Chain A
């Protein structure tokens, strides 16, 4: 190695003690978690099921996969999932607007912002499945419960990202408009809304992407979507049906992800 390079490299600060402490803690944690998780390999039954799932993926139930009539085929189930995620995102993003304004310290006083933040943390920690079960008591099982769950669970993340947008507003524009003698309405309409609209929309589209994934699991508690048929098919060992549901899911989520990335790119670039 070149001498000059070696000299430069030797100047790197010595953090061996710090790093080795962290490494020791990490190794201790790994050993601790190994003790907790009882590692079970594949047994005879497990391998059998794994190979069944694979054969189901490669020989899906085509009739079920392409059943475009409104009753129970994969397309209609996927449509229901899309609808749940969409309405949930729309409701959630509308609910998040007032909350995010209440959360941004540059608009309301600090205590108010802090309390709202605590409430949002509280809302966010409860897992979506628990909300699902709670809403089923209100609406009965079905996609409606899913919509309400999605609306509530989206609030947390959406409002947090909205706050970032609000805090990063370009105030220079507003000052310029004030100096030009614009009215408050004009300032909001031409100074604030154009700045907020596209960023808010971009956040919402991002959350839609996530909600779509979450909507697929709500079916496990009976809140509509494609999760319930999946778990039924698995419990009754209908692997070709499992295969077609999984294929439908993967294709849908990949397609939505690509589409939403394109859309957000265009939004950001104007």
Chain B
């Protein structure tokens, strides 16, 4: 057996056991990994002008902003509700629409449902390309196409949800045990009926829990979409940070934290029930 180059340079240790058999312990790969990491770190360090002394001398600036956020400006609360509900509505609508459209996309990408390699490949590629675009950049493009406002944010969230759920679902559908499907068919059920009773019960809990999870994450994303003008609470953050009105920023963040926490708890509860 030919040994990898690494083993040819660093010879493996050879032990002779009591019964005369020879055992080889290959040299550890860890030093190589560490060396590569170190090298890339140094390169990146150069490229990004990291300067730790700046952190020491000016790091207090960061703490100043943080302490300015306390106590949060409670009077600002009334200005928050509108954008906050916009954020929630945006992510809700985007998530639901994305989750619904993800079903046909996932089915079209699964090689065990639609037996057409070209079609599967096309939809898989489409979903992965869609997934690479960060939500904020999709939102930026959407603001150009749909104009500033909540519509752009909804479209960005919709596209991200579609790609995310679509990918996870086709991976799941492809791993479904087709035996049950075949058994149903052999019992005399039509293809659609067999799909309904063999595949759907298997896939549905995962689909619902993935959708809930996506919604959870989307609330976080939706909160910053306002930064590019796509509506929601991010608009407020952008505006208040620009004015250096840090107590109000603190208030927005506090409310955001509470909302995210509540939604996560609700969705976690239902996801636990589903599994």
A interface residues (Cβ-Cβ under 8 A, vs B): 1-2, 4-5, 9, 26, 29-30, 32-40, 42-43, 45-47, 49-50, 53, 79-80, 82-84, 86-87, 90, 121-122, 125-130, 133-135, 137-139, 142-144, 146-148, 197, 201, 213-214, 216-217, 220-221, 224, 227, 230-231, 234, 246, 249-250, 253-254, 257
Q: Decide: A126 and B197 in contact? CB cutoff 8 A.
A: no
A197 to B28, CA, bound (A): 13
A123 to B86, CA, bound (A): 24
Q: Which B residues touch A221, using CB under 8 A?
A: 227
Take A32-B89, A49-B144, A86-B41 as given contacts and tell me if A2 and B188 are in contact as well, using a CB distance cutoff of 8 Å: yes
A-B complex: 4 closest residue pairs judged by Cβ atoms: A36-B89, A83-B44, A143-B48, A33-B89
Taking A246-B137, A249-B133 as known contacts, 6 extra A-B pairs with beta carbons closer than 8 A to each other, sorted by chain A number, are A1-B189, A38-B149, A49-B144, A121-B261, A130-B237, A254-B132
User: Is B8's beta carbon under 8 Å from chain A?
Assistant: no
A143 to B58, CA, bound (A): 16
Min CB gap B30→A, angstroms? 7
Contact pattern, B 131-147, Cβ under 8 Å of A = 1, otherwise 0 = 01110110011001111
A225 to B241, CA, bound (A): 21
Q: Decide: A147 and B137 in contact? CB cutoff 8 A.
A: no
Q: Which A residues touch B85, using CB under 8 A?
A: 36
Q: Decide: B50 and A249 in contact? CB cutoff 8 A.
A: no
- Select which of B48, B51, B141 is within 8 A of A224 by beta carbon: B48
A127 to B87, CA, bound (A): 14
Give the total of B residues in contact with A, Cβ under 8 Å: 66
Take A127-B223, A227-B137 as given contacts and tell me if A138 and B241 are in contact as well, using a CB distance cutoff of 8 Å: no
User: Is B119's beta carbon under 8 Å from chain A?
Assistant: no
Q: Decide: A148 and B137 in contact? CB cutoff 8 A.
A: no
Interface of A is mostly: helix
Q: Decide: B61 and A137 in contact? CB cutoff 8 A.
A: yes
Q: Which B residues touch A130, using CB under 8 A?
A: 237, 241, 249, 253
Q: Which B residues touch A138, using CB under 8 A?
A: 54-55, 58-59, 61-62
Q: Decide: B47 and A220 in contact? CB cutoff 8 A.
A: no
Interface of B is mostly: helix
Residue of A nearest to B183 (CB): A5
A130 to B253, CA, bound (A): 10
Q: Which A residues touch B197, using CB under 8 A?
A: 9
Q: Decide: B145 and A82 in contact? CB cutoff 8 A.
A: no
A30 to B54, CA, bound (A): 49
Q: Which A residues touch B193, using CB under 8 A?
A: 1
User: Is B176's beta carbon under 8 Å from chain A?
Assistant: no
A36 to B81, CA, bound (A): 12
Q: Which B residues touch A134, using CB under 8 A?
A: 62, 65-66
User: Is B122's beta carbon under 8 Å from chain A?
Assistant: no
Q: Which B residues touch A32, using CB under 8 A?
A: 89, 92
Q: Which B residues touch A122, using CB under 8 A?
A: 257
Q: Which of B90-138 contact A (CB under 8 A)?
A: 90, 92-93, 96, 128-129, 132-134, 136-137
